Amino acid sequence: MEPAAHGQALPPPVFGEPTPLGLLGLSIGCAALVPIAFGWIPRDPAGAAAMFRVAAWFCLLFGAGCQFLAGMMSLANKNTLGGTLLTTFSFNWVMNWWVLDQLSQGKIPDPMVGLCVDFAFIVIFVVLTYAFGFFSKLLFVFLLDIDLLYLLRIARHFVPSAGPTLGLGVGLATIALGGISLYIALAILLNGAAGRVLMPMGGPMFKAQAQAG
């Protein structure tokens, strides 16, 4: 996810490219959240609890587990940007697991704490969106979709009357995030196996300034 920066060679990696693992886990986690994001929740309490529990475990094992493992391997490979993104996001998926587990027990987590954290995340991801724009247009779009997702989550808190419309937006953004994640992961794997570009990812969105010396 983070190529050699501006002509400077990176040290030999300790692990193979871990980004596909993290993104495949992310795409599976997003798929598990789609029914909840669109409000397709069973009316009976037992059915709703079962849905929340199943989604919670997918969030923990794939959303959190795959991204944490990929993030640790990326950091070991001296990929600070990719490793930071994957590792930070993995802990967010642990929180998704906890929230869904609480909902399965009929407990509603405090919304104000979640809102404050969403504000922190939107700042983080806006900066990371710009950073990844120096490496790939598709990675830029990937982060841009995450930005949109958090903006919609925040808007739902302040405009409850638009809840259904904003909820639809959250659902569509979740599907888009899962789809983009899946495409990037498969592109890295397939292009590497074929030795040529079969699934293009696009060049940099921004041109980095050349470093002197």
Q: What are the tens digits of pLDDT across the range 83-104?
A: 999 999 999 999 999 999 999 9
Does pLDDT of 127 surpass 50?
A: yes
The answer for residues whose C-beta is within 8 angstroms of residue 65's C-beta and 6 or more apart is 25, 90
**pLDDT tens per residue, range 24-62:** 999 999 999 999 999 899 999 999 999 999 999 999 999
Distance CA(175)–CA(100), nearest Å, equals: 18
DSSP class of residue 39? Answer: T
Prediction pTM value: 0.88
pLDDT tens profile 161-195: 998 899 899 999 999 999 999 999 999 999 999 99
- DSSP-derived 3-state class of residue 13: coil
CA quadruple 7, 24, 155, 127: dihedral, nearest 10: -10
The pLDDT of residue 3 is above 60: no
Rg of the chain (C-alpha set): 18
Instruction: Tell me the domain boundaries of the chain.
Output: 18-193
